[in-house]
Chains A and B, each alone.
Chain A
């Protein structure tokens, strides 16, 4: 544990994507301190122009994700004592996303891909009709349960080397969202979802490296969801061939 008299040596990526540069700050080390505390201390005590994003500070909103010593993390739930290497911290904006300024990334491509993966509910009934009951122990419901705690923080997207190599790839979060909908008996557009996730940039781009599952702070496993999508798209293709 670092003593209060010690300093942390923090490197922060500043500027835009066109002109990134590293800036060093010395930040007082505390007994209990998160990486977000460090970033906030810099912004409040040294340089008010430092741009970054956070909201809830308790791991619910998913807005404070950054690269900490090369690893994508929720900064609000990451204790400095667990990640600092000899008092050194390297903080950078989330990987695989355009940088707006300093530590704030443009999340638009991330959310555009949710839309592209048909990651929205397609209703089967209107609001005046009775809704379809789903039993909690229904196998599809159990499978969907594994993915619905995603809070869209973008950590899996930043961890994924397939996203880094292929800008069209929908990414783990969007594909996992599609998988939860595919397992929802109240969703009306099964074939639309399968078409959206099996095209260019779809689930078959995944190389099963597993970085998404490795780094998801909620302990979700998008690789499992993507494997499920691969299975279902292949089944659908075989059915289509048989019916043709």
Chain B
């Protein structure tokens, strides 16, 4: 099995940032569309909110909150990397971003169920 040249923490942090950004970009139009239903079709919105009480949807929301948080903390790390004096602790910071995102989304999930 050939070891890929990219299996190291900062490359995974890059992929996670890209994938979470892409997923959020796909999510946002659907999110705004649903919010617009509050004005144009309240009954449909209520129907969806009832559906969102389903535990499976809560798990999906946990994933969504994780993606949002990991994109935010990862983005803060990248902005610090590019605009603040250099820090050699990039791998620690990237791991910290994932940890903080898991904490935030985990807290959300525990409150939601």
Q: A: which residues have CB within 8 A of B?
A: 67, 69-72, 85, 90, 95, 158-159, 161, 207-211, 214-215, 221, 223-224, 227-228, 230-231, 234
Contact = CB atoms under 8 A, between A and B. Distances in A.
Given A224-B86, A227-B86, A208 B81 contact: yes
Nearest to B12: A209
B86 A210 contact: no
Nearest to B11: A209
B2 interface: yes
A230 B82 contact: yes
Given A69-B2, A69-B3, A70-B2, A234 B8 contact: no
Interface residue tally of chain B, by bracket? 10 to 19
Nearest to A90: B2
A234 B82 CA distance: 10
Contacts of B82: 208, 227, 230-231, 234
23 contacts: A69-B3, A70-B2, A70-B4, A70-B5, A71-B3, A71-B5, A161-B6, A208-B14, A208-B78, A209-B11, A209-B14, A210-B8, A210-B11, A211-B6, A211-B11, A214-B10, A215-B5, A221-B88, A223-B90, A227-B82, A230-B83, A231-B83, A234-B82
A159 B5 contact: yes
Interface string B1-24: 111111010110010000000000
